[in-house]
Amino acid sequence: MLKTRVTTALVFVPLLLLAIWVGNIALIAAVAFLITMSVYEYCRMLAHKNYKTNTVFSIVIALFIGLLTGYAQFAYLPAVLLLSFVIIMFLHFRGKAYALEGTMMNFAGTVYFALGFGSILYLRFAHDTWVWLLLAFFITWFTDIGAYAVGICIGKHKLAPEISPKKTVEGAIGGLLISILSVLIFGSIVLNLQIWQLIVIGLGGSVFAQVGDLLESMVKRWADVKDSGNILPGHGGIWDRFDSILLTAPYLCIVLKLFL
């Protein structure tokens, strides 16, 4: 199992870093793939709870919203979101009691993945630099490493036992501290920001990374599935691997607007 996880990481991570570095059509294609697969996985999870979904339309809408987010056409988003909701509701409605609830769940997931992955495009294209996007991934990676290491060593108090039994309060704090430290080091080299701004980035980014992780765990428990998918051998699905970045990236988009 460990060998499979490592092999997958050795193949997947370099491809991801290459797409971040190259940008342009390579990153757009990568993000389009991630949106497509994550929405597909999510619709399958809803099917476990007998919710009807229109997977193809959900993917199309998510891709459209994701591209709008990536190219900062935020003025169009309210209209697109409203129209998307109306169409999804129309496609879902079958006169059954759970139709509206299923529609809301489908719409929420579609928008969640679209805005999360769309923010990855925005971070890369906003100032035509890879720095902010790489920083977003650094925050999620070091938060995960810090939380795991501290949790294993001194973790005693459960953070959210009904959602993710292995996570501890001590691990969460460790993830926060390691994230802040990594941002301070990374930021002092490549970002022209003050120390307090770097601390805000590291702290907030880590909080959202951990919330994103817990959110996915909560949905998996609700749907009674072990992984969101199986496309990545040893790692599960796309959402399993990108659960943290889906909230950290939008947070950094806001920071980018405020600090630069």
* pLDDT band at residue 165 under the 50/70/90 scheme: confident
Closest alpha carbon to 56 in 25, 87, 14, 30: 87
Provide the whole-model pTM: 0.89
Please give the Cα distance from 42 to 229 (Å, whole number).
9
DSSP states of 168-196: EHHHHHHHHHHHHHHHHHHHHHH----HH
Cβ-Cβ contacts under 8 Å for 258 (sequence gap 6 or more): none
pLDDT of amino acid 52? 78
Question: pLDDT tens digits, residue range 10-44?
Answer: 667 778 778 888 878 889 999 999 999 999 999 99
Please give the Cα distance from 46 to 121 (Å, whole number).
27
Question: pLDDT tens digits, residue range 214-240?
Answer: 999 999 999 888 888 877 766 688 999
